[in-house]
Amino acid sequence: MAAKARFPRSVTRVTAAAPPLHARWPQLSLREALGRLTPTRRSLAIGFGILAFALCGYLLARESSLFAIDRIEVEGGSARVDAQVRSALGSLAGRPLVGLDGSAVLRRVDALPAVVRASYDRAFPHTLRIRVVPERPAAVLRRGRDSWLVSVRGRVMEGLPAGADSSLPRIWVSAHTSVTVGAELSGAGSGVSARAVGLAGPFATRVATVTYAGGALVFHLRSGIELLLGDGGNLRLKVAVAARTLPILPSGSTFLDVSVPGRPVSGAGSPPPFYALQGSSRG
Residues 182 and 120 in one domain: no
pLDDT, tens digit, 9 for 90 and up, residues 234-279? 999 999 999 999 999 999 999 999 999 999 999 998 887 666 544 4
- Is 93 a domain residue? yes
Q: For residue 76, give its domain range.
A: 71-134
- Name the pLDDT band for 34 (thresholds 50, 70, 90): low
- Is 176 a domain residue? yes
- Is 37 a domain residue? no
pLDDT, tens digit, 9 for 90 and up, residues 193-246? 999 999 999 999 999 999 998 889 999 999 999 999 998 889 999 999 999 999
Residues 190 and 255 in one domain: yes
- The answer to whether residue 12 scores a pLDDT higher than 80 is no
Stretch 104-117: mean pLDDT, rounded? Answer: 95
Residues contacting residue 250 through CB under 8 Å, at least 6 positions apart:
266
Residues 85 and 141 in one domain: no
Stretch 106-119: mean pLDDT, rounded? Answer: 95
Domain endpoint, select from 87, 104, 134? 134
Residues 145 and 232 in one domain: yes
Structure-model confidence comparison of residues 19 and 264, the more confident one: 264
- Is 35 a domain residue? no
Closest CA to 282 of 140, 159, 192, 170: 170
Structure-model confidence comparison of residues 113 and 66, the more confident one: 113
Q: Where are the alpha helices (DSSP H) in the chain?
A: 30-37, 41-63, 79-88, 102-110, 188-200, 235-245, 273-276
How many domains is the chain partitioned into structurally?
Answer: 2
Residues 111 and 220 in one domain: no
- Is 253 a domain residue? yes
- Is 48 a domain residue? no
- Is 18 a domain residue? no
Amino acid at 103: S
Residues 144 and 272 in one domain: yes
CATH of the domain at 217: 3.40.50.11690
pLDDT score of 98: 79
CATH of the domain at 76: 3.10.20.310
Domain endpoint, select from 104, 134, 164? 134
